Amino acid sequence: MPHNQLNEALFSEFVPVSNQAWNEQLKADLKTDQPEAKLNWKTQEGLVLKAIYRADDLDQLQYLESMPGQFPFLRGNKVHNHWQINRIIETAEPSKANEMALRAIQRGAQSVEFNCSQVKKFNELETLLHGIDLEQVSVRFDKPMSYKIILVHLIKYVEEKGFDKSKISGSFNWDAMAYRLISGKYYQTLDDNIDELKGLLEQVDLHFSNFKVLTINAQHFHNGGATTLQELAFTLSAAVEYVQRLLQKGFSLPNLLPRMMFRMAIGPAYFVEIAKFRAFRFLWAQVVSSYNAELKAQSKACIFALNGLYNKTIYDPYVNMLRTTTETMSATIGGVDILSNLAFDAPYKFENEFSSRIAQNQQILIKEEAHFDKVVDPAAGSYYIENITDSYIQHAWNSFVELEEAGGFAKAMESDFIKNELAKSAQSKQFEAATRRTNILGTNQFSNQNEFMLPEIEKPAKSPAPGVHLHRLSEGYEQLRLETEVFSQKHGSAPKVLMLSFGSLSMRKARAAFISNFFACAGYTIFEMEDCSSPEIGMKQALEMKAQIVVLCSADEEYLAFAQQMAEFKKLLPGSLLMIAGNPAENIDELKSLGVDDFIHLKTNVLESLKALNKKLLS
């Protein structure tokens, strides 16, 4: 039986359900005339995503019939879903970096990226590349003193070793505007940098047909706190800035396009990230075709994806493995071309064999065991993902056009527009994390108060750069924990919190759990008296353990009577703080008059409150 007839036979038993019927059922189930108000959610940039999408939500989408490997490449640049497993080697010393690269290749890496800050002479590059089959493994170069010198050495090395130049692939991470974005200055001037880029492109054209020269470092937007919409729009605008300036210098677009690569971060929003990569390929194809419609075949956006640092943490670092695993999945489903996984301990440790191997093995597992490379664009036809993709396409294009009409990326960057927009977005994200509207598992939710990371930290703290501030969302909480650890080392114990739970069983348990979670974010030592039968018993326990903070945990209506009997507490234990779990609005003033210092509840800014407590208790 033909496939379409089989489908008809299978579904003929099911009566079609109209949108109206769905909506009526939702209204009944949710007991509201506006179910979308409860179910729909907004992204940070304000895009509304529905909770339920149906087949007719695809009716307005124009690209659904496109195929993988065909313009506009939303469904991928290839007719397969193979991607290169890349290993970024941080070590700059050539012989050590070479050893690490050879081990990575032996274990499945198909591409390696080197830190070339110590490669100046030919023999140093020779050491770096020794034993690597350049016809089989892509090589990428980052952080050299001069890309021109690296290129000269690379050409000589390839010729001396007899490699077929047409089979050499790899890239330079050349991006002068990214350097300006972070450092606040160019290497020289932007015009001088473009001249340098043009020279590199011309030399590479003479020798290597499969080598990328210009890399758009979009991961900086992500790690600076960008929204997904900003990532897309700013990346497009930066690429167009380079295209425009090179065209003005007489370099041809057909020669430039194969030399470009987009280095993009993978964020934590699983479905949004899938949509982001799909949308970006579509958008870049639209940009190229607007220059020259005959270049459709060359409008493929080569995407090098790597895990963003923004959501990674120092505390409970093994959660980073879970984060990078789901990010790897979303990137590969999104059809990226090259992928490099971040080691789970990268936020605080230097490169090491254990975590680097795990990071690489995550990709191997997803490719070789989970077979993510066997299906091209598995998200195709998904009502949800297709609509998210389309939403980002439309809104990112509008933002990109606005940026271009205002003068383009370089002007926006030099006027600090880009920096300020990223700062606004980052501030919004930081507020969400500070108030725990955004959960950071193991950091601002379900922290392990007995975890001590201070001895594990190898990387020194970085001073903020003059340009865009690259940071991680968890840094504020981590600073609290590290301050507490230093205090504990000096005094033998972290600040002690005693929870006095009494009254209503359900309320005291819920509020005790909430308070324990709250103070664990700062690494305080937490005790609970689960059924405190009287204030006197509670005060006795607080005095015995010399608690710096005592928190009453019960129902709102039970606090006043209990607190009235604890009026002597603060006299007996000077400097201690008395707090209440909840927000008993009717009795707040009276409770304050009895010596209650603060009220901890869902609307409390956790980070700011704990900062104030650290300042008071640890000084």
pLDDT for res 3: 47
> Which residues fall within 8 angstroms of residue 352, CB to CB, at 6 or more apart?
343, 345
Does the pLDDT value for residue 269 go beyond 80?
A: yes
Structure-token match 């890496």, residue found: 109
pLDDT for res 83: 98
Does the pLDDT value for residue 1 go beyond 80?
A: no
Residue 407, Ramachandran bin (φ over 0: left; ψ between -120 and 50: alpha; else beta) = left
Does the pLDDT value for residue 417 go beyond 50?
A: yes
User: Percent of the chain having pLDDT more than 90?
Assistant: 86
495-551 pLDDT tens trace: 999 999 999 999 999 999 999 999 999 999 999 999 999 999 999 999 999 999 999
Task: Please say whether the beta carbons of 265 and 255 come within 8 A.
Answer: no
pLDDT for res 465: 81
Task: Please say whether the beta carbons of 339 and 385 come within 8 A.
Answer: no
Q: How many CB atoms lie within 10 A of CB 10?
A: 9
Q: What is the dihedral of CA 589, 595, 601, 604, to 10 degrees?
A: 90
543-595 pLDDT tens trace: 999 999 999 999 999 999 999 988 777 788 888 999 999 999 999 999 999 99
Q: What is the CATH number of domain 84-410?
A: 3.20.20.240
Does the pLDDT value for residue 9 go beyond 70?
A: no
- Amino acid (1-letter code) at residue 395: H
pLDDT for res 7: 57
| 441-449 mean pLDDT | 95
Structure-token match 């050499």, residue found: 168
199-208 pLDDT tens trace: 999 999 999 9
pLDDT for res 230: 98
544-555 pLDDT tens trace: 999 999 999 999
pLDDT for res 257: 98
Domain 493-617 has CATH 3.40.50.280: yes
| Comma-separated ranges of CATH 3.20.20.240 domains in the chain | 84-410
Tokens representing 206? 């003479």
User: Percent of the chain having pLDDT more than 70?
Assistant: 98
| 448-455 mean pLDDT | 94
Which whole-number Å values give the CA distances from 186 to 172, 419, 423, in the listed order?
Answer: 18, 15, 21
Which whole-number Å values give the CA distances from 582 to 7, 13, 489, 600, 606, in the listed order?
Answer: 56, 53, 32, 6, 13
Per-chain mean pLDDT for the chain: 94
383-416 pLDDT tens trace: 999 999 999 999 999 999 999 999 999 999 999 9
Is beta strand 138-142 parallel, antiparallel or unpaired with respect to 169-174?
parallel
Name the pLDDT band for 59 (thresholds 50, 70, 90).
confident
Does the pLDDT value for residue 5 go beyond 70?
A: no
Does the pLDDT value for residue 418 go beyond 60?
A: yes
| Comma-separated ranges of CATH 3.40.50.280 domains in the chain | 493-617
78 burial level (CB within 10 Å; 0-12, 13-18, 19+): middle
d(CA 225, CA 427): 8
* Closest among 172, 179, 177 to 191, alpha carbons compared: 177
DSSP letter for each residue of 582-594: S--GGGHHHHHHT
DSSP symbol at 33: S
Beta strands in 40-198 (DSSP E): 41-42, 48-49, 84-89, 111-115, 138-142, 169-174
Task: Please say whether the beta carbons of 118 and 94 come within 8 A.
Answer: yes
Does the pLDDT value for residue 11 go beyond 70?
A: no
